[in-house]
Amino acid sequence: MELEVHFSDQLVGHLTQDARGGILFEYDAAWRTGKRELSPLYLPNSTDAAVRTPTPSFGDLHGLFQDALPDWWGEQMMRRFFFEAGIPWGKVSSLQKLACQGDRKMGALLFKPIIDDHDFNGELLTSLTALVDAARDAIKGDNEQVIHQLIHAGITPGGARPKALLWLSGTSIFLDEAPGREAWLLKFDLDPDTHEGKIEQAYMQMAASAGIDCPETKLLEAAGGHHFLTRRFDRLPDGRRLHLHSFSGLTHTPVREGLDYGDLMNLTRELTGDHQAVEQVFRRAAFNIAAGNDDDHGRNHAFLMDDGGTWRLSPAFDLTQATNPLTSGFRAGRVLGKAYGVTREDLRKLGNSQGVRRVDDALHQIDTALASWGDHARSVDLPRGIAQQVRAQMPGLS
């Protein structure tokens, strides 16, 4: 199988799979002469031949393309489709998964099959479109049961929440991009009793009050739940796409290994040259630790690149109370190598080692934000008992 990789309307290169199943990528000659580096650490433009990933333990794709694979929920939909098509999941290649993404994905990269022996792409996109169309009807109130029908039987309480990429115009919801429509990501609230949508909305408000750069978010009440909506920051108002690359993908760091915030701050400095962005990462570290967001792994921190090749830190996302599902009691995001018991003094040392200005002022703002939790919880009508339980699980900064 072979895929063309495009950045907006320009050919970037080709992904191919050899007879033994190995995946290689080669830049197009015209792209290599340009100044836009899509993945400068492991796949710089100076790469002048077809190459395999140098880190097979990370996956069979370079991190640039690994970032484009579907999340847990998207993979369940793919599994369902291929199962019904009689294709064993173990036989589905990473290139086939990329081909299935079409243009309904985050970021600016597009993957176009040159030859598709199984002719599955169009069928799968039709299948996924029908599912999202059903979800749209559900959140508009046309069918109160459809959201639950979207959930594959294999989903567990610890799994990722199902998501849909949608476009909004006023109160109208659309599946397709068009002038005047705004790109949003919706997380379905599957169990109204847990109030996950309301909790995440209150967290995002609390994070913004702590000086953290957050995208616009809101709640959509429909089908018995309050679903969390966040404006997509990989799209400009005129519809142009921005390249999105996670810390995990840039550094070929498996999600299971988490990250160290010092490394994230160093990479931020190297990519953006912006010290304010480094200080922003410091605030996010302090907020996640204080607010009990322990699932702050390498795919939950990302960077954006514009058409001119300029990098910047993306707005914060996936800020909510969450445990690290891989190692209960340990954080995914470490501070000075510590994965548990991180203290205010640890954060001071991190900030000072990175040249963060007014470290104590930043930490005080985090304290003040947590103290305002009750206001944010009330603003989204989170039940008092749930709000108290969430607040009791915020470690704060000792």
Residue 61 is assigned to a structural domain of this protein: yes
Tell me which residue range forms the domain holding 85: 2-123
For residue 191, is it within any domain?
Answer: no
Percent of the chain residues topping a pLDDT of 90: 63
User: Within a domain: residue 155?
Assistant: no
Any domain includes 30? yes
CA 32 to chain centre: 28
Question: pTM for the whole thing?
Answer: 0.89
Domain assignment present for 141: no
Q: What is the DSSP string of 209-239?
A: HTT-----EEEEEETTEEEEEEE-TTB-TTS
Place of tokens 């939790």: 373
Count up the domains in the chain and report the number: 2
Beta partners for 145? none
Domain final residue, candidates 73, 96, 123:
123
Q: Is residue 345 one of the residues assigned to a domain?
A: yes
Opening angle at CA 333, ends 327 and 336, nearest 5: 115
Sequence-separated (6 or more) residues with CB below 8 Å from residue 385: none
Whether 130 is in a domain gets the answer: no
Choosing from 75, 103, 123, the residue where a domain stops is: 123
- pLDDT for res 103: 67
pLDDT tens for residues 241-291? 999 999 999 999 999 999 999 999 999 999 999 999 999 999 999 999 999
Sequence-ordered list of residues with C-beta below 8 angstroms from that of 302, at least 6 positions apart, any chain: 244, 245, 246, 247, 314, 317
The per-residue pLDDT for range 173-212, each reduced to its tens digit, is: 776 788 889 999 888 887 788 999 999 999 999 999 999 9
Chosen domain end from 123, 142, 166: 123
Alpha carbons 321 and 333: distance in angstroms, whole number = 14
CB 226 within 8 A of CB 189: yes
Q: Kindly state whether residue 40 falls inside one of the protein's structural domains.
A: yes
CA 30 to chain centre: 30
